Structure 1
Amino acid sequence: MVVVAALITAFLVSFVGRPYVIPSQSMEPTLHGCGGCIGDRIYVEKLSYYGDSDPKPGDVVVFVGPPSWNTRYASIRSDNAVLRGIQDFLSYFGLVPPDENDLVKRVIAVGGQTVECCDPQGRILVDGKPLTEPYVIRDHAWGSAGGRAVYPSGRVFGPITVPSGHLWVMGDNRNDSMDSRAHVADDLQGTVPVENVRGKAVFKIWPPGRIGAVDSENPQ
């Protein structure tokens, strides 16, 4: 029975979905995570993106950071070869996190769309149309100079046309998120390959006071 249960668990983790821990506050208030507090545990399912179905604008996705996004990532595996092997084995069953730089952000634009910031009201534009983003917090100017708004570094960008098979992603906590805007100078101009996506965040499973669905609200 133990072997059967382990095989079922491994199947579910590999093909259906798995839990992840939110490590930062870049997706607040949608997802909670910060130093010294209990970060949200979310369930991320893979079924939505099987076949020809790719992530859509508004989806909250977990993805592996492209190479230029990984400069601050350090392996969570033990230096001991035996322990590292055990950790790798347990990760197949969802008992240990995968050893990769998994990030969570919201899809803002998809392949073929052009994204930029900002219009006179400070809104993100996709294909020239302003987005409606009720989930966003802390996306404001720091002040003004010479009659013009002064935004945090990286707030103003583009226009950037997202390549086919890629995504432009941003955190809901805009003033505290290292997202596509922080990587516009890399080879992919800040975009993320769809093949890097691990799944769609659909449910907050912990802590009890925050259990509930993760909304995929299309800002376009």
Structure 2
Amino acid sequence: MRSRDAGPDATGAGPEPGASASEDHSARRSGLMAWLREIAIILGVAIVLSFLIKTFLFKAFYIPSESMVPTLEENDRIFVNLFVPRNFALERGEVVVFKDTKGWLPAVPATTSNPVTDTLEFVGLLPDTSQQHLIKRVIGLPGDHVVCCDASQRLTVNGQALTEPYVNPAETPRVVPFDVTVPAGSIWVMGDNRNHSADSRYHEGIQPGSGFVSIGDVEGQAAVIAWPLNRIRSLDSYPDAFKDVPAPK
């Protein structure tokens, strides 16, 4: 029978001095390494998922100008649906982001790039802030006859006058006459803020054919305002404004 006064080990072989402190340090270090590995895995998965989403589903963009007011405000961040026109045909009224392959934008002075920001934009964790894209609303599809303007100063598409609820109501749009037929593989685009948008109207006047945007240059359909928080919403393509437009002849 063991005495009540006996030590923790009846054989007298207690733990070596300092062993528990060493084990505790090793346990803490092992726990820290496991936590760091877990964080690294989470970040890696987030980056891969973001890159896949940006490549195949949605891509973020930054709005640098007022050309689409009131639909889009300067400094809005948006998500663009990459399935349009890749998998689904464009429709009149949709807001699209497209590459500036025809030099609509003025040359941008070279600036020092930030590798961190560039990387985050590339993988899709930050919106694209480059100056090589534009955003406008599709007014004419291939084959459409688009004219400005009728006796009531309204656009007509294939002879049908449009009522355009998306145009900035704060200003009466200036009349910029044009009469075009959209060629195959192209679209005619205009900004909602008509008096502050250097869109298809102005470039067609500079050089015939230069006002049309190639469908191949369209990145996708602007679907959602994602930032700022008080402006989060989906973007309307106003199908009712174009429902009576007949097919092109």
- Aligned equivalents of 1:198 and 1:105: distance in 2? 12
Say yes or no: does 1:46 pair with 2:82: yes
**What is the one-letter code of the residue matched to 1:165?**
G
- Aligned equivalents of 1:133 and 1:156: distance in 2? 17
1:50-89 deviations in Å (ceiling 9; x for gaps): 33x222100001111232313x14167526xxx56x6554
Q: State the SS of the aligned residue for 2:53.
A: helix
Task: Determine which structure has the larger strand proportion and give its number.
Answer: 1
In the superposition, the TM-score normalised over structure 1's length comes to 0.81
5 Å matches for 1:13-162? 13-33=54-74, 39-51=75-87, 53-70=88-105, 72-74=106-108, 78=112, 83=114, 88-94=118-124, 95=126, 97=128, 99-137=130-168, 140=172, 151=174, 155-157=176-178, 159-162=179-182
Mark the CA change 1:210 to 1:89 in structure 2 (over 3 Å): closer, same or farther. closer
1:146-196 deviations in Å (ceiling 9; x for gaps): xxxxx45xx111x11111111100001111111001100335240100111
Say yes or no: does 1:178 pair with 2:178: no
User: Between Structure 1 and Structure 2, whose CA radius of gyration is higher?
Assistant: 2
Mark the CA change 1:120 to 1:97 in structure 2 (over 3 Å): closer, same or farther. same
- Aligned equivalents of 2:111 and 2:49: distance in 1? 25
Give aligned-pair identity as a percent.
Answer: 37
Q: State the SS of the aligned residue for 1:119.
A: coil
User: Unpaired runs of 5+ in structure 2?
Assistant: 1-40, 243-249
1:86-119 deviations in Å (ceiling 9; x for gaps): 6554332123626451111100001111111000
In the superposition, the TM-score normalised over structure 2's length comes to 0.72
- Aligned equivalents of 2:149 and 2:207: distance in 1? 21
User: Unpaired runs of 5+ in structure 1?
Assistant: 34-38, 142-150
**What is the one-letter code of the residue matched to 1:178?**
A
Equivalenced residue count is 197
Give the RMSD, CA atoms, in angstroms: 2.1
- Aligned equivalents of 2:127 and 2:225: distance in 1? 19
